Amino acid sequence: MSNQALLTANHLDVTLSGRAVLHDVSLSLQPRHLVALVGPNGAGKTTLLRALAGLLPSSGSVHVDGEALASLSLRERAKRFGYLPQGHVVHWPLDVKDVVALGRYPHGATDPGRLSPADEAAVLRAMQATDVMPFAARRVTELSGGERSRVALARVLAVEAPIVLADEPTASLDPRHQIDVMKKLRDVADSGVLVIVVTHDLGLAARFADTVLVMSDGRLVAHGSPADALSNAIMADVFRISAYRAYYQSETVILPWAGI
Amino acid sequence: MIATTIALAVLVALLALGSLGTGPVKLSPVTVLDALFGGGSDVQQTIVREIRLPRAILGLAIGAILGLSGAALQGLLRNPLASPSLFGAPQSAAFGAVLMIALGWADVRSWALPVAGITMAFTSVFVLLSIAGRSAGLLLLILAGLAISSLAGAATSLVMNLSANPFAALEIAFWLLGSLEDRSFRHVTLALPFITAGAILLMSQRSAFRALSLGEETAQSLGVNVGRLRLLVIVGVALGVGGAVAVTGTIGFIGLIAPHLMRPLIGHDPTRLLVPSALTGSALLLAADIAVRIIPSTTDIKVGVLTSIIGVPFFLYLIVRERRALGGGVA
C-alpha cells in the first residue's frame, strides 16, 4: 500500500451566512482507503465533503495528488471527484443508462446517445459493478429505493475518479441494502480509490472503514482506526452515548446502546 | 427521436406553406411555391413575397424561440410548469415596448422597442429567479410569476391610462393582444437578430440541462458552472422573448405547451426536448396564425388571444395533474 497522500486539506474554514460551519480542518488521506466521516447532526460533515470537492467557497487549501484544487478548472475537478449527494434525486424520469452516462460528463461525453467506445466501456463497468444491468433500459422513477441508490452509485463510479465522496449513501435503505452499498464502496476502495462516506451508522463505519473521522461543531475531533476514533471517551464526549462492543466473524461490532 | 424531429420539420414546412397560401386571396401550395421563387403573376408575387412571407417567417421564428425558451426554463428549473409567460416575461417586455411608444421615443418599427422589451424581459426573469432562489419549488415560482406578470400588466395599464390620446391607448391595447398581421420585412430585421442570438445562446448550453436533472449541486460536481448557466439562460430567454414581443405584442403559452406535447414522444430528457420543442412552437404558432385567418368573424381575432384561449385551459390541466406537488401532498 502506498503511503503517498492522495487528498490533503490544510486549515479549511467555511462560513455560511455569517456562521462558521467548518473550523480549521486539516487532513491527509490515502488511496485504497475507505474513510467514514461521522458526527452528530449539524457537525459539518456534508459541508466538509462539499468543501473537499470544491462545491462551496472555503478558505484554506485542498490538494489532490499534489495539485491545488483552486488551480483546477471546474471540469478538471469533476474528473477527480465522484460526488454522491444525499438523497440523490433525479428530477426527470430519465432512462437508467442515461443517468449513469452522466458520470462521463466531466470527460466530455455530453450525449449519452453517442458515447465513445471508452466512455461506453466505463458506463458498462460501472453498471456491472453495481448490478444495475438488469434494469439499464428502465426509467429511474420506476425503480425501488434500493435500486435507485445503486443507479446513483453507478453514476458516481462511471466518473472513474480517484476519489469518491458519498453523503449518507445508506440513509433510508433497508439493512440488506445498507450492507450492500457499504460492501460495494469497500470494493471500490480496494480497487485503489479513496472513498469517503458520511454516515450516521457507527456500526457500519466500524465494520467497513479503514479510517474514521469524527466531527463535532465544525471541527475534526478524532482521526484514526475505528477502534481509536470510536473509543468510549469519544462516544461519550461527541455523541453522548455509550456503546456495546464485540467481535463477530473477526470484525468489530459497535452498537450504540444508551444516551448519557 | 430523429424521426420525430424530421416529421416535425416537415409539418412546420407544410404549415409555413399553408400560412403563405391563406388570406383574403387563397393560393394553392403550388402557386405559393411558384410565386415564392419568382414565378406566377406580379400580384401573386407581391402577396406571397411581401405581404405573407414576413408573417410566416415571424410565426416560424417566434414560435420556435417561445418553444425553446419554455423547454430551456423547464430544464433549468427542473419544473414542468416553468415557461416565459408564467414568469411574466412577455408581459414585462410588452410593458417596456409600450412605454417606449407612449413616451413617443419610438414608433412601432424602431430598435428602441426590442431593446426596451429585452431589458424588461431580462429584469422580470432575473427578479423571478432571485425571489424563487436556488431550489425553486413549484408554488413559489408560480406565485412569484403571478406577481411579476400582474405588476407588468398594471404598469402597462397605467401607461395607457395616462396616455394623452385615446386613440393611442386603443392602438396600444390592440397591439398588446399579440398579432402577426401586417408585419413587414422591417419587423423581421428588427426581431430576427435577437431571436437568433437567444436561440444560439440557449442551444449552446443544451447538454448542461441533462446534468441539471440530478440537481444543481451534483451538476456542479460534474463540471457544470451552474451560476453562469442560470445567467446565460435568463439572457437567452430575454433576448428571444423580448425581441419577439417587440414586433408582435404578447403571445403566451406556446413555451408552456410545446415541451409537454413532446414528452410522450421524446421522453423527459431536457436536452433532447429542446429542438423538438422549438419545432412544436413553430408549428403551434403557424397553425394558430392560419386559424385566425380562417375562423369567420366580423373583427379579426388576434393570434395572441387564440394562443391564450387554448393555453390557459392547458395550464389548468397541468395544475390538476401536478396538484399533489402544489398542495404539498396534502390534497
DSSP string, B110-167: STHHHHHHHHHHHHHHHHHHHHH-TT--HHHHHHHHHHHHHHHHHHHHHHHHH-S-HH
Q: Where does the pLDDT of residue A1 fall: very low under 50, low under 70, confident under 90, or very high at 90 and above?
A: very low
pLDDT for the residue B109: 66
Give the distance from residue B215's alpha carbon to the nearest chain A alpha carbon, in angstroms. Answer: 7
**Distance of alpha carbon A142 from alpha carbon A162, whole angstroms:** 31
Residue A102 maps to a domain? yes
Q: What are phi and psi of A199, to 5 degrees?
A: -150, 155
Q: Which of B223, B267, B268 sits opposite A105 (nearest CB)?
A: B223
CA distances from B150 to B85, B92, B113, B147 (A): 11, 9, 21, 5
Three cell numbers, residue B168: 393611442
Interface test with B, best of A105, A141, A153, A157 (most B CBs within 10 A): A105
What is the extent of the structural domain holding B151? Answer: 2-326
pLDDT per residue over A29-49, tens digit each?
999 999 999 999 989 999 999
Q: One digit per residue, pLDDT tens: chain B, 331 residues?
A: 889 999 999 999 999 999 999 988 888 988 999 998 888 888 998 899 889 999 999 999 999 999 999 999 999 988 888 888 888 888 999 999 888 888 877 676 678 888 898 899 989 988 888 887 765 566 777 788 889 999 999 999 998 888 877 777 887 888 888 889 888 898 899 899 999 999 999 999 999 999 999 998 999 999 999 888 988 998 899 999 989 998 898 898 999 999 999 999 999 999 999 999 999 999 999 999 999 999 888 888 899 999 999 988 988 888 888 776 665 443 3
Q: Is some CB atom of chain A closer than 8 A to the CB atom of B217?
A: yes
Q: Which DSSP symbol is given to B300?
A: P
Q: Where does the pLDDT of residue A9 fall: very low under 50, low under 70, confident under 90, or very high at 90 and above?
A: very high
Residue B331 maps to a domain? no
**Distance of alpha carbon A231 from alpha carbon B267, whole angstroms:** 52
Q: What are phi and psi of A82, to 5 degrees?
A: -95, 120
Q: Which of B211, B220, B271 sits opposite A55 (nearest CB)?
A: B220
Tally of domains in chain B: 1
Q: Is some CB atom of chain B closer than 8 A to the CB atom of A77?
A: yes
Residues of A in contact with B220 (CB under 8 A): 55, 74
Helices (H), chain B: 2-21, 29-36, 42-45, 53-77, 89-102, 112-132, 138-162, 166-177, 185-204, 206-212, 216-221, 226-248, 254-266, 274-294, 303-321, 323-326
Please give the distance of CA B134 from its chain centroid, rounded to a whole number: 24
How many other CB atoms sit within 10 Å of the CB of residue A55? 21
Q: Is the pLDDT of residue A249 over 80?
A: yes
Three cell numbers, residue A87: 438523497
Residue A82 maps to a domain? no
**Distance of alpha carbon A22 from alpha carbon A25, whole angstroms:** 7
Q: Which of B1, B222, B269 sits opposite A92 (nearest CB)?
A: B269
| CB within 8 Å: A102 and B214 | yes
Task: Name the helix (H) or strand (E) containing A74.
Answer: helix A74-80
pLDDT for the residue B141: 76
Residue B41 maps to a domain? yes
- The CATH number assigned to the domain holding B14 equals 1.10.3470.10
Q: What is the mean pLDDT of residues A150-178?
A: 93
Residue B23 maps to a domain? yes
Q: What is the mean pLDDT of residues A112-128?
A: 94
pLDDT for the residue A173: 87
pLDDT per residue over A201-244, tens digit each?
999 999 999 999 999 999 999 999 998 999 999 999 999 999 88
**Distance of alpha carbon B331 from alpha carbon B325, whole angstroms:** 9
Tally of domains in chain A: 1
Residue A121 maps to a domain? yes
What is the extent of the structural domain holding A138? Answer: 87-160
Give the distance from residue B92's alpha carbon to the nearest chain A alpha carbon, in angstroms. Answer: 29
In this predicted complex, what is the ipTM? 0.91
Q: Is some CB atom of chain B closer than 8 A to the CB atom of A90?
A: yes
**Distance of alpha carbon B164 from alpha carbon B190, whole angstroms:** 27
Residues of B in contact with A77 (CB under 8 A): 223
